[in-house]
Chains A and B, each alone.
Chain A
Amino acid sequence: DTEVTQTPKHLVMGMTNKKSLKCEQHMGHRAMYWYKQKAKKPPELMFVYSYEKLSINESVPSRFSPECPNSSLLNLHLHALQPEDSALYLCASSQLDPKTQYFGPGTRLLVL
Chain B
Amino acid sequence: AQSVAQPEDQVNVAEGNPLTVKCTYSVSGNPYLFWYVQYPNRGLQFLLKYITGDNLVKGSYGFEAEFNKSQTSFHLKKPSALVSDSALYFCAVSRGYSTLTFGKGTMLLVSP
User: Could you jot down 12 A-B contacts, CB within 8 Å?
Assistant: A40-B107, A41-B105, A43-B44, A48-B99, A56-B99, A98-B32, A99-B100, A101-B46, A101-B100, A103-B45, A104-B43, A106-B43
In whole Å, how far is B93's beta carbon from the nearest beta carbon of chain A?
A: 10
Which residues of A line the B interface, CB within 8 A? 2, 4, 6, 40-43, 45, 48, 56, 90, 92, 96-106, 108
**Contact (A98, B49) CB under 8 Å given A40-B107, A56-B99:** yes
> With A98-B51, A101-B100 known to touch, is A90 a contact of B32 (CB < 8 Å)?
no
| A53-B36 Cα distance, complex, nearest whole Å | 27
Instruction: Give bound CA distance, A50 to B26, whole Å.
Output: 26
B96 close to chain A: CB less than 8 A:
yes
Kindly report which residue of chain B lies nearest to residue A58, judged by CB atoms: B99
Determine if B99 and A100 form an interchain contact, defined as CB atoms under 8 angstroms apart.
Answer: no
| Chain A proximity mask over B87-112: 1 for CB below 8 Å, otherwise 0 | 01010001011011011110100000
Say yes or no: B46 contacts A90, CB within 8 Å.
no
* Chain A residues, Cβ within 8 Å of B32: 98-99
Contact with A along B45-65 (1 / 0, CB 8 A): 110010100000000000000
Residues of B near A100 (CB, < 8 A) are 34, 46, 49
**Looking at the complex, which one of A40, A97, A98, A106 makes contact with B88 (CB distance below 8 Å)?**
A40
Distance of B99 from chain A, by nearest CB (Å): 6
Min CB distance B33 to A, Å, is 10
Bound Cα distance from A43 to B85, whole angstroms: 20
- In the complex, whether B70 has a CB less than 8 A from a CB of chain A is no
- B44 touches which one: A90, A98, A108 (CB < 8 A)? A90
Q: Which 8 A-B pairs have the closest CB atoms?
A: A42-B102, A103-B43, A103-B44, A105-B43, A106-B43, A98-B32, A99-B94, A98-B51
